[in-house]
Structures are given as structure tokens and as C-alpha cells.
Amino acid sequence: RRVRTLDLLQAKAEGRRWAMLTSYDQYTAALFEQSGVEALLVGDSAANNVYGHATTLPVTVDELIPLARAVARATARALVVADLPFGSYEISDEQAVASGVRFMKEAEVHAVKLEGGTTMASRIRALTTAGIPVMAHIGFTPQAEHSLGGYRVQGRGEAAEALLADARAVAEAGAFAVVMEMVPAELAARVTAELPIPTVGIGAGADCDAQVLVWQDMAGLRPGRAPRFVKQYADLHGVLSAAVREYVDEVREGTFPEAERSFE
């Protein structure tokens, strides 16, 4: 049976933590849910991890929908959430609902995610009123990286009150969960204890109700240095590089394909 937003609320009530990963294609989606991941995020991080952009800003609804559709189709159990990309919900509540409807109809995802706190409360209310569950995203919000001055921890010192206000606002507006990105662990713990809805941490300490990571980061596929909050559970970059190098060598030597892989 499919995980529903109510199951995640129930998990919070019972003190059961759950795991979320990004996914952008059918094989990872099926493998992740079979490995116990409760919720999958078709993130606008596809801008970086699929389409090769430097930021999340350029990716469009038209580019995300086919990926979201593949993930939804490949799964039977996980709750599938799609990011509303930059430019698809800022203008008005009507624009947000129109974009949300496209993801629900064309990709058949189960919820959408958008970035912002108090300023996005009316968007969250409009979407939930339309029957579209919303996961909020506060703290560091990558779509706003140019106005936030780059990747930096949010909610330190004086800014803690504003982050708390954002968390309360999105819960009050009807979000079923809230991602907190790059927030001091102690503040994230306070938000998690106070809010009635699950908190999903990324760089927000272990006291959140759930955690989320970009899969290519946690599996070590992405080359280069990962952010501090990423734990690399595998070295897919190394594994795949070695396999491809061996294949290339064997093709050059003429040892692949072997007789048993050839036809008479």
C-alpha cells in the first residue's frame, strides 16, 4: 500500500523516523522504495544532477514532469513529491495551483514541494484547498541562493525567531511536512518538538522527524567535494568508473565479446 501524508503524521506521533531521497528515474525509484525509503522527492535539484546546470533556477515544469512521471510509475509504495521549480509559483496563488495541478495530472505525483515560509503561506493554503498536499521548505532555500548570498546556514542568532515564524506559518497554512535545510541542529530540534507536522532535515541535525538527501550525493556518484551535511554511503563514481574502464580495455584488446556472448 502507498504511503500517505497521514502515515507520516502517524509516524511522528509514534516517534518513528523515516527516510526520503531524491529520485529522477525509474530504476532508482524502484530500488529506493524496495530498500525502505518512505518518500521520494523529484527535486528541482534535477537541474544540477540531471540537466547539468550550476543552480536549480533554470529547470522548468516541462523538464521536471517527465522525470516525476517516471518515478511515480515505477513505484507502488513510496509517497512521491515533486518540486515546484523556480518561476512556477511565485507570481500568484493561481499560478501555484495551475503548476501543482499539472504535476498531479500529468505526472501523477502525490504532493508538491515549494520553497518559502511566511511569504508562501497563501500559496500553501491555495494548493491544499485545491486538494494538492504541500511539503514546505524553509531555512536555506536554493531557489533563493542569489538573494541569500550563497549556500549558508539559516536561523543563527537573531534569525532564529524568523525561522520559527516560517515553520509555524507553513504548518498553520496546511503543509503536511516541512523540509529544513542548513539550520542549526538545536533550532531544528525546537521546531520539530513544537510543530504538529513532520520536519525533514537536510543539514539540520538528527532530531528532525525525517531526513532527506540528494541520492547522487549520498551514493557518491557526483564527483567533487560534497557539502558538509552529506554522508557518502557508497562510491558509485569509483565503481562505475572501474567498470567502464574495464569495458573499454576489453573492447580495445578484442577480449569482449567472448565466444559465449557471440552467435554462430
Per-residue DSSP letter, 200 = E
Say how far apart CA 191 and CA 199 lie, in whole Å: 8
Task: Count CA within 13 A, CB hemisphere, residue 21.
Answer: 23
Alpha helices, DSSP H only, in 158-230?
Answer: 160-173, 185-194, 215-218
Q: Which of 8, 23, 38, 43 binds ligand KIV (CB under 6 A)?
A: 43
**Interface with Na ion by CB under 5 A: which range of 42-50, 61-69, 157-165, 228-236?**
42-50
At what angle are helices 93-102 and 61-74 packed, to 10 degrees?
A: 40
Q: Does 212 bind ligand KIV (CB under 6 A)?
A: yes
**Interface with Na ion by CB under 5 A: which range of 38-46, 63-71, 193-201, 206-214?**
38-46
- State the cell numbers at 142: 536554493
| Segment holding 157, helix H or strand E | none
Q: Does 217 bind ligand KIV (CB under 6 A)?
A: no
Q: Does 83 bind Na ion (CB under 5 A)?
A: yes
In sequence order, the β-bridge partners of residue 138 are 180
Q: Report residue 247: phi and psi, to 5°.
A: -60, -50
**Taking the complex as a whole, how short is the minimal distance between the CB of residue 39 and Na ion, in angstroms?**
14
Q: Which of 33, 38, 44, 209 binds ligand KIV (CB under 6 A)?
A: 44
Q: Does 179 bind ligand KIV (CB under 6 A)?
A: yes
**Taking the complex as a whole, how short is the minimal distance between the CB of residue 153 and ligand KIV, in angstroms?**
15
Per-residue DSSP letter, 84 = P
Establish whether 253 is a catalytic residue.
no
For ligand KIV, give the closer residue by CB, 3 or 215.
215
Q: Does 139 bind ligand KIV (CB under 6 A)?
A: no
Instruction: Tell me which residue has cell 518559502.
Output: 116
Q: Residue 134 touches which of ligand KIV, Na ion, none (CB < 5 to 8 A by kind)?
A: none
Q: Which of 44, 166, 209, 217 binds Na ion (CB under 5 A)?
A: 44
Which of 14, 172, 181, 258 is catalytic? The answer is 181
Say how far apart CA 51 and CA 29 lie, in whole Å: 18
- The residue ranges that bind ligand KIV (CB under 6 A) are 22, 41, 43-45, 83, 137, 179, 202, 212, 214
**Residues annotated as part of the active site:** 181
